Amino acid sequence: MPLDVKEIARVICGHWLVELAHWHLDVTFGEDANRTLDRMAAFNLNILRKLVLNFLKIMDLSEFKGPVSLKTRRFITGCNPIKYLQQLLTL
């Protein structure tokens, strides 16, 4: 197979995007420590975690100064879910 630098770079970047998503799921939700035995329940929890992770990434926290980590965003949203429910429903 001929070496194409652009194709190799695209594949490497794609791989690291997947790794980054897995890292966020583990750090933010502790996914590696999850011991759900039922396969369908584990599948459903994985989908919910990915949906919430995407919401946490795009949610507006302009009242806070500077960048807010995903773990902190999760904590803030959990402390006052009604405040952020409207934002979630308008996506």
Predicted structure pTM score: 0.74
Query: How many Å separate Cα 91 from the centre of its chain?
Result: 16
**Domain range summary for the chain, segments of one domain joined by +:** 5-89
Could you read off the pLDDT of 15-64 as tens digits, one per residue? 998 898 889 888 888 888 888 899 999 999 999 999 999 898 888 888 88
State both tokens at 58. 């795009």
Residue 1: predicted pLDDT: 64
Q: End-to-end distance of the chain based on CA atoms, in angstroms?
A: 44
Q: Over the range 66-90, which residues count as b (16 or more CB within 10 Å of their CB) and which as e?
A: eeeebeebbebbeeeeeebeeeeee
Residue 3: pLDDT band (50, 70, 90) is confident
Residue 63: predicted pLDDT: 85
